[in-house]
Amino acid sequence: MSTYPAHPWYRQAWPWFLIALPGAAVCASFYTLYLAVSEPEAVVRDEYDRNGLEVTRRLGQDAWALRHGMAAELHFSASGSVDVQLQPASERPASLSLQLIHPTAQAQDEVLELKAGPDGRYTGTATHPVGKRYLQLEAGGGASQWRLRGVLEAGGGTRARLLPGSN
């Protein structure tokens, strides 16, 4: 016969510990499900074959720009104007398309149409990008033969050099 008084099960520590472990796993799985449903990933695309063709076309644009020795100097002023000097000077499309791509938030991406000036520079207006931005420059008005890429560093000033295939 036992000399210890019998306590009900709910007054013991071990049953609660054994119940808490799977209970915590169930709560964590519901939280994970909530995260997955409330914020779907916008980067994933279903059109894999079209995306593959686009990558091939983009690599061709980089190779074309590299063969022709293209580069660009980009300057953002405090007033929000963007100034681009394209090299070589023989490449002078009527306009340029500049994409300012945020590393993580697609909603903060911006596309600028830069018009050619009489001095050979291209200008446009943008909100001054705050933080790091990936830059992509192409000839405006449709399918471009070339593209230049670069990075505008966070707090790194207002100048960037764009080259083929860099980034």
Tokens of 96: 């340029």
Does 78 lie in the same domain as 23? no
pLDDT at 81: 80
Q: Is the pLDDT of residue 33 over 70?
A: yes
pLDDT at 156: 55
Does 74 lie in the same domain as 33? no
Does 112 lie in the same domain as 32? no
Is 46 a domain residue?
A: no
Q: Domain holding 121: CATH number?
A: 2.60.40.10
Number of domains the chain is built from: 2
pLDDT at 26: 96
Structural domain boundaries enclosing 141: 70-162
- Return the higher-pLDDT residue of 143 and 24: 24
Is 51 a domain residue?
A: no
Q: How far is CA 3 from CA 6, 134, in A?
A: 9, 76
Q: pLDDT tens for residues 88-147?
A: 866 678 888 888 888 888 888 888 898 888 888 888 887 766 678 888 888 877 667 888
Does 144 lie in the same domain as 91? yes
Cross-sheet strand order for the sheet of 71-76: 147-152, 133-139, 95-101, 110-116, 121-125, 81-87, 71-76, 159-162
Residue 161 · residue 74 · CB < 8 Å: yes
Is 58 a domain residue?
A: no
Does 113 lie in the same domain as 31? no
Mean pLDDT, range 44-70, rounded to an integer: 73
pLDDT at 38: 86
**Is residue 27 very low, low, confident or very high in pLDDT (cuts 50, 70, 90)?**
very high
Give residue for tokens 């983009």.
58
